[in-house]
Amino acid sequence: MQPYQSLSFANKLAQINEHWSPRVIAEMNDYQFKVVKLLGDFIWHDHQDTDETFIVLEGQLRIDFRDGQVLVSQGEMYVVPKGIEHKPFAEQEVKLLLIEPKGVLNTGSEGGERTALNDLWV
């Protein structure tokens, strides 16, 4: 039997050197918990089949929508409903936790060079 052990967001994030490349730290049922560092602008995209949860651990994230935006600060979260086009932006480095179903691509159906590999654990 393995000993019970908590996960440290800070320790997991310290192992990530690149931006916009989510890493899985845990799974619950069909959902994955991913830590990621963001900096700069991302691409417009949506997720047709699932909501996406952003929990800011450090920094401030802006999520742009076609008709507005939301600021998400450290200790706050925001759930982007499925099918809503959005574009994350971080003026300074943001560290966050994403919660989404296993297999969801960070760029949705847009694809392209910003698409991160899936199911990479840290």
CA 103 to mean position of chain CA atoms: 13
Q: How many CA atoms lie within 13 A of 37 on its CB side?
A: 13
Query: Would 110 be classed as within a structural domain?
Result: no
What backbone torsions phi and psi does residue 87 show, to the nearest 5 degrees? -145, 105
81: which 2 tokens? 């409903």
Which range marks the domain in which residue 49 is found?
A: 9-101
Alpha-carbon span 95 to 4, nearest angstrom: 26
Give the model confidence (pLDDT) of 44-102 as tens digits: 999 999 999 999 999 999 999 999 999 999 999 999 999 999 999 999 999 999 999 99
CA 75 to mean position of chain CA atoms: 15
**pLDDT of amino acid 88:** 97
Query: Would 52 be classed as within a structural domain?
Result: yes
Q: What's the total number of domains in the chain?
A: 1
- Provide, rounded to the nearest whole percent, the portion of the chain with pLDDT above 70: 99
